[in-house]
Amino acid sequence: MPILQYAEHERIPASEIIHPFITDRIAQTRGTPWMVSAMTRLQMLGAYEEAELPHPRWASW
């Protein structure tokens, strides 16, 4: 039985949802979400860690 089956849900109208974003032009209706820069850096950090992990093992041979 799923745990969320008994969770209470509350519907919130779309007019009450705030989606902040960074605008590049005046009157822009779509933009870059604030979290994009953080997520990009986290992805780069993950790739760096994956690339660097084998190096100490190779150096010890």
Is the full-model pTM beyond 0.85? no
**Cβ atoms of 24 and 31 closer than 8 Å:** yes
**Cβ atoms of 51 and 43 closer than 8 Å:** no
**Cβ atoms of 22 and 35 closer than 8 Å:** no
**Cβ atoms of 34 and 22 closer than 8 Å:** yes
pLDDT at position 13 is: 93
Task: Give whole-number Cα distances, 61 to 41, 50, 53, in Å.
Answer: 32, 19, 15
Q: If residue 22 lies in a helix (H) or strand (E), which one and from where to where?
A: strand 21-22
The pLDDT tens digits along the chain (61 residues) read 566 677 788 899 989 988 777 778 888 778 788 788 888 899 999 888 888 877 766 666 6
